A and B are shown apart, each in its own frame.
Chain A
Amino acid sequence: EIVLTQSPGTLSLSPGERATLSCRASQSVSTSYLTWYQQKPGQAPRLLIYGASSRATGIPDRFSGSGSGTDFTLTISRLEPEDFAVYYCQQYGSSPPITFGQGTRLEIK
């Protein structure tokens, strides 16, 4: 099973600042199958980034994804108030097919 470890667990930043979230895999992950989601309190997750670096429909260009192999990054260039949420990375592989990271909470400083 591929384990995804996200860091930091909590990130405290102010609006306008840049956020960098990390997702490290225990084995190499195909870039085609590394995904990022955003979840706000009381809401379902929302697809942000698929294929490691492609933005989903309607996602602002301040969100970007990068990385390959075992190290992946989600970057939010300038934080807006609505960006404060929990972010999860996810990989799709063989067995089990899907695993999620434990999440990074992005909170207002």
Chain B
Amino acid sequence: EVQLVESGGGLVQPGGSLRLSCAASGFTFSSYWMHWVRQAPGKGLVWVSHIYIDGSITAYADSVKGRFTISRDNAKNTLYLQMNSLRAEDTAVYYCARGSGGDCSDWGQGTLVTVSS
């Protein structure tokens, strides 16, 4: 069974940093693209970033480019999202998802990031 478990969310002040983690199990992590998708309270889904199987290709939404960094450790079956210079508009539930072609085939339960003073 595919399992994705996010952690690292919490309350942070504007301008601060957080690192999210996503622990994967139940599949060969190193064979799949991985995504981060976020959802602000009461709003829709917004893609944030994705990373190729070996980390050699990454992409970001314009809204986070230059502030967020996606990475992965295939030996630890873990996906990361380093978030710097956080803003109030980054407040959201952050989901990691397993990529399958262009789809997000499996999702974690999400971790809430709140940016507020």
Contacts and interface: CB of A to CB of B under 8 A. Distances in A.
Interface string A17-59: 0000000000000001101010100001111001100001000
Given A45-B107, A46-B107, A98 B95 contact: no
SS class, residues of chain B in contact with chain A:
strand
Interface residues of A, number: 26
Contacts of B11: none
Nearest to A86: B44
A95 B47 CA distance: 12
Interface residues on B, range: 20 to 34
Contact of B44 (A33, A44, A88, A93): A88
Given A32-B102, A50-B101, A92-B101, A97 B47 contact: yes
Interface of A: 32-33, 35, 37, 39, 44-47, 50-51, 56, 88, 90-93, 95-103
